[in-house]
Amino acid sequence: MFKSSAEGRCGFRGSFAAAPADQDCSGPYDGGHLAQTYSALCCLLVLGDDLSRVDKPGIVAGLRACQLPDGSFCAHSGGSENDMRFVFCAAAISYIIDDFSGINIDSVTDFIRRSVNYDGGIGQGPGLESHGGSTFCAVSTLSLLNRLWDKSVLSTAQIERLRRWCLRKQGVGFHGRANKPDDSCYTFWVGASLSLLGADAFIDHDKLREFVLSTQDATIGGFSKYADSHPDALHTYFSLAGLSLLHEPGLAPVFAALNTTARTAARVGQIRLGHQPP
Amino acid sequence: MTEGDEQHDAVVGSKLLKDDERWNDVTPIYHSDAENAVVPIAASEEFKDAFAYFRAIVQKDERSERALQLTTHCAELNSANYTVWQYRRNILQSLGSDLHQELKYCAAIIEDNPKNYQVWHHRRVLVEWTKDPSKEIDFTDGILRDDSKNYHAWQHRQWVVEHFKLWGEAELDYSARLLEEDQRNNSAWNYRYFIISNTTGFKGDILEREINATLALIAKAPHNESSWNYLSGILLDAGQSASQQVVEFCESLYSDKKRRSPYLLSFMVDTLSEKIDKGNDAKDNVERAVKLLDELQQIDPMRRKYWLYQKRSIENAVQSKIGA
Residue A181 lies in a domain: no
| Residue scoring higher pLDDT (B70 or A6) | B70
Residue A2, pLDDT > 70, answer no
| B257 classed as catalytic | no
Residue B8, pLDDT > 60, answer no
- The H or E element spanning position B196 is helix B186-197
B130 contact A CB<8A = no
Q: Give contacts of B194 with chain A, Cβ < 8 Å.
A: 127
* Angle separating helix axes A233-245 and A186-196, nearest 10 degrees: 30
- Percent of chain A scored above 70 by pLDDT? 94
CA distances from A141 to A80, A111, A255 (A): 20, 11, 13
Q: What is the pLDDT of residue A28?
A: 81
Residue B318, pLDDT > 90, answer no
Domain range for B82 is: 1-97
Residue A35 lies in a domain: yes
Query: What's the pLDDT tens digit per position in A125-176?
Result: 999 999 999 999 999 999 999 999 999 999 999 999 999 999 999 999 999 9
Phi-psi domain of A91 (left: phi exceeds 0; alpha: psi -120 through 50; beta: other): alpha
- If you average pLDDT over every residue of chain B, what do you get? 93
Q: Into how many domains does chain B fold?
A: 2
Residue A79 lies in a domain: yes
- Percent of chain B scored above 90 by pLDDT? 86
Q: Which of B67, B97, B127 is the last residue of a domain?
A: B97
| B74: closest chain A residue by CA | A17
Residue A22, pLDDT > 70, answer no
Q: What is the pLDDT of residue A5?
A: 41
CB pairs under 8 A between A and B: 120
Q: What is the pLDDT of residue A6?
A: 47
Residue B141 lies in a domain: no
How close A31 comes to chain B (CA, Å)?
10
User: Which of A22, A73, A85, A119 to probe by mutation at the B interface, max B CB count within 10 Å?
Assistant: A119
Q: What is the pTM of this model?
A: 0.94
Query: What's the pLDDT tens digit per position in B135-163?
Result: 999 999 999 999 999 999 999 999 999 99
What are the beta bridge partners of residue A170?
A: A174
Report the pLDDT averaged over residues A232-257: 98
Residue A108 lies in a domain: no
Residue B235 lies in a domain: no
Q: What is the pLDDT of residue A16?
A: 74
| B301: closest chain A residue by CA | A204
Residue B153 lies in a domain: no
Residue B216 lies in a domain: no
Report the pLDDT averaged over residues A24-45: 88
Report the pLDDT averaged over residues B169-183: 97
Domain range for A47 is: 1-103
pLDDT tier for residue B33 given thresholds of 50, 70 and 90: confident
Of the candidates B151, B230, B309, the beta carbon closest to that of A202 is on B309
Q: How far apart are CA B138 and CA A12, in angstroms?
A: 39
Query: For A47-51, A150-154, B10-14, B256-260, which range has the lowest pLDDT when averaged over its residues?
Result: B10-14
3-state helix, strand, coil in chain B (%, to 5): 75, 0, 25
Of the candidates A119, A128, A202, the beta carbon closest to that of B158 is on A128
A6 contact B CB<8A = no
DSSP A71-136: S-EESSTT---EEHHHHHHHHHHHHHHT--TTS-HHHHHHHHHHHB-TTS-B-SSTTSPP-HHHHH
Query: What's the pLDDT tens digit per position in B293-306?
Result: 999 999 999 999 99
Q: What is the pLDDT of residue A11?
A: 84
How close B57 comes to chain A (CA, Å)?
9
- If you average pLDDT over every residue of chain A, what do you get? 94
Report the pLDDT averaged over residues A53-60: 95
Q: How far apart are CA A258 and CA A145, in angstroms?
A: 12
Cβ-contact B233, A127 below 8 angstroms: no
Residue B211 lies in a domain: no
CA distances from B153 to B121, B144, B177 (A): 11, 7, 17
Cβ-contact B187, A129 below 8 angstroms: yes
Q: What is the pLDDT of residue A9?
A: 76
Contact across the interface for B303 and A170, Cβ inside 8 Å: yes
pLDDT tier for residue A4 given thresholds of 50, 70 and 90: very low
Residue B206 lies in a domain: no
Q: What is the pLDDT of residue A21?
A: 65
Q: What is the pLDDT of residue B41?
A: 87
Residues A192, A198, A204, CA angle at the centre, nearest 5°?
A: 70
A110 contact B CB<8A = no
Residue B118 lies in a domain: no
Residue A3, pLDDT > 60, answer no
Report the pLDDT averaged over residues B216-236: 98
Q: What is the pLDDT of residue B231?
A: 98
Contact across the interface for B226 and A19, Cβ inside 8 Å: no
Residue A243, pLDDT > 90, answer yes
Query: What's the pLDDT tens digit per position in B89-141?
Result: 999 999 999 999 999 999 999 999 999 999 999 999 999 999 999 999 999 99
Q: What is the pLDDT of residue A18?
A: 78
| A206: closest chain B residue by CA | B302
**3-state DSSP assignment of residue A170:** strand
Q: Which of B63, B97, B131 is the last residue of a domain?
A: B97
Report the pLDDT averaged over residues B173-180: 97
Q: Which of B97, B124, B142 is the last residue of a domain?
A: B97
pLDDT tier for residue A277 given thresholds of 50, 70 and 90: low
CA distances from A241 to A173, A181, A190, A214, B213 (A): 14, 20, 12, 16, 42
B14 contact A CB<8A = no
Cβ-contact A102, A94 below 8 angstroms: yes
Residue B4, pLDDT > 80, answer no
Q: Into how many domains does chain A fold?
A: 1
Query: What's the pLDDT tens digit per position in A63-99?
Result: 999 999 999 999 999 999 999 999 999 999 999 999 9
**Active-site position among B18, B48, B104, B115:** B115
